[in-house]
Amino acid sequence: MSNEEFHLFRDSIHTHCGIYFDDESKYLLEKRLSRRLATLNISTYKEYYQFLKYNRKKDQEMMDIMDILTTNETYFFRESFQLKAFTEEIIPELIKKKTRQGIKTLRIWSAGCSTGEEPYTIAMLLSDLPELHGWKIEIIGTDISQRVLQHARRGVYGKSAFRATDETYLKRYFQEQEDGHRITDKIRELVTISHLNLFDSHRMVMLGRMDLVFCRNVIIYFDLTAKKKVVESFHNTLCDGGFLLLGHSESLMNITTQFTLRHFKNDMIYQKPERSESAGMP
């Protein structure tokens, strides 16, 4: 792959979904795309770029590229300190607020849900809270990779997915079968899995308002421009007072000032200010 070809592929991928490869990542991109050349029986990157731009199957090809470029390493109950803040501090605050408003609905979005461990973890945690019995709970898991979404919809997991899972959850919410452990229907019914490119602003609007957005270890793959665009979409999607939960190594510093950083007992979480607070912001 020449430097010119690398820049063409890099720019196409960035425009499509925000994932950015710097010059040091040329070998990584070349190695991963080489799988597609082999599959399509294409001999040069120049020919492959022409295929990606002009072939009638170009949209499907870009989806196949997303499958091989995205990193999908995850497991149940990841980042336990944050989940503790979620169940012990954030959810009680939302319950109190919504009860005052006479509302018994909770909508949560897992953006970049990969193979489904995150949205199913959220569903299990909420199912354990008696205060939410009788509430309408909707958890939406989305990802750009069709391959991982198929896994998430199937809901069957091997041993590595349970490295941080307490045995009681395994017994209560999974059924053992030959090829792994299958999530129970009780939990699956709370979760909707669907395909979404975070750069697709039209589809983002169709999601509707959310009380919480989990987007952990996703925006680290974006450059600053892409991060700003996606975080702006999260801000627009969240209800006033809604929460944005990022990965432990991620921050909104230099990206936006539209969120307040709340210091909870178990973790620090970003919150969209209530309308009255927002009105006074510069």
Look at residues 14, 34, 69 and tell me which one is the last residue of a structural domain.
Answer: 69
Question: Alpha-carbon distance 107 to 110, whole Å?
Answer: 10
Question: Two tokens at 48?
Answer: 């492959």
Question: Alpha-carbon distance 180 to 278, whole Å?
Answer: 48
**Whole-prediction pTM:** 0.87
Whether 274 shows a pLDDT value over 90: the answer reads no
Domain that residue 153 falls in: 80-279
Q: 25: helix, coil or strand?
A: helix
Whether 14 shows a pLDDT value over 70: the answer reads yes
Kindly give the pairing relationship between strand 238-246 and strand 260-263.
unpaired
Q: What share of the chain is helix, strand, coil (3-state, %, to 5)?
A: 50, 20, 30
Looking at the fold, whether 27 and 151 belong to one and the same domain comes out as no
Locus of tokens 């001999």? 43
CATH of the domain at 65: 1.10.155
Question: Alpha-carbon distance 100 to 24, whole Å?
Answer: 53
Model confidence over 125-176: pLDDT tens digits?
999 999 999 999 999 999 998 889 999 999 999 999 999 999 999 999 999 9
Residue 185 forms part of a structural domain: yes
Across the range 255-272, mean pLDDT stands at 94
Whether 227 shows a pLDDT value over 70: the answer reads yes
Cβ(151)–Cβ(143) below 8 Å = no
Looking at the fold, whether 110 and 47 belong to one and the same domain comes out as no
Model confidence over 63-116: pLDDT tens digits?
889 888 876 678 999 999 999 999 999 999 999 999 998 899 999 999 999 999
Looking at the fold, whether 85 and 65 belong to one and the same domain comes out as no
Looking at the fold, whether 168 and 102 belong to one and the same domain comes out as yes
Looking at the fold, whether 24 and 100 belong to one and the same domain comes out as no
Residue 145, C-beta contacts closer than 8 angstroms, at least 6 positions apart: 66, 67, 70, 72, 114
Residue 74 forms part of a structural domain: no
CATH of the domain at 206: 3.40.50.150
Looking at the fold, whether 86 and 65 belong to one and the same domain comes out as no
Looking at the fold, whether 125 and 10 belong to one and the same domain comes out as no
Band of pLDDT at residue 206, cut at 50, 70 and 90:
confident
* Strand spans (E) along the chain: 105-111, 136-143, 156-157, 174-177, 180-183, 191-195, 210-215, 238-246, 260-263, 268-271
Q: What is the pLDDT of residue 201?
A: 82
Looking at the fold, whether 197 and 86 belong to one and the same domain comes out as yes
Q: What is the mean pLDDT of the chain?
A: 91
Q: How many domains does the chain have?
A: 2
Q: What is the pLDDT of residue 155?
A: 94
Residue 191 forms part of a structural domain: yes
Model confidence over 15-46: pLDDT tens digits?
888 888 889 989 999 999 998 999 999 999 99
Looking at the fold, whether 62 and 93 belong to one and the same domain comes out as no
Q: What is the pLDDT of residue 272?
A: 96
